């Protein structure tokens, strides 16, 4: 089985099961993490360590209530994978919905996620946070 595909499928299985610690364990110690967005959204931006990723996943359920999260396609090319899908979440602080298609770009090296770049409707997220 393709190492990249298996790693990303396992990542989504752990996230879906609410296993943030297990999902974090799939990341390398050093990671290129980037979620583009407004400075008004406290959880977007760059991260560079597994410990920061662990904090992100630990705090995310306090910030967002997941209503739907569906990966429609997982495209893999060597060490690169792109997950395409749609999500619907509620921002807990405001009660507003955040509904968007997404594309997440991963890089997997030696079975560890070394890159995670998120592409989603950052304007819709900023609106839902404010």
CATH of the domain at 52: 3.10.450.50
Whether the CB-CB separation of 37 and 126 falls below 8 Å is answered with yes
d(CA 5, CA 19): 19
Number of structural domains, the chain?
1
> Would you give per-residue pLDDT tens digits along the chain (130 residues)?
469 999 999 999 999 999 999 999 999 999 999 999 888 898 899 999 999 999 999 999 999 999 999 999 999 999 999 999 999 999 999 999 999 999 999 999 999 999 999 999 999 999 999 9
- The closest of 35, 58, 14 to 115, measured between CA atoms, is 35
Domain enclosing residue 41, as ranges: 3-129
Q: What is the pTM of this model?
A: 0.92
Q: How many angstroms separate the CA atoms of 112 and 107, rounded? A: 8
């Amino acid at each position: 089985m393709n190492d990249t595909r298996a790693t990303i499928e396992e990542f989504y299985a752990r996230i879906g099961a609410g296993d943030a610690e297990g999902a974090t364990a799939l990341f390398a110690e050093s990671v290129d993490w980037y979620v583009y967005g407004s400075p008004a959204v406290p959880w977007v931006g760059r991260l560079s360590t597994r410990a920061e990723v662990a904090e992100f996943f630990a705090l995310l359920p306090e910030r967002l209530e997941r209503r739907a999260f569906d990966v429609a396609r997982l495209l893999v090319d060597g060490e690169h994978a792109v997950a395409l899908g749609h999500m619907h979440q509620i921002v807990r602080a405001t009660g507003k919905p955040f509904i968007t298609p997404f594309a997440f770009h991963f890089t997997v090296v030696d079975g560890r996620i070394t890159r995670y770049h998120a592409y989603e409707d950052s304007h819709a997220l900023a609106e839902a946070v404010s």
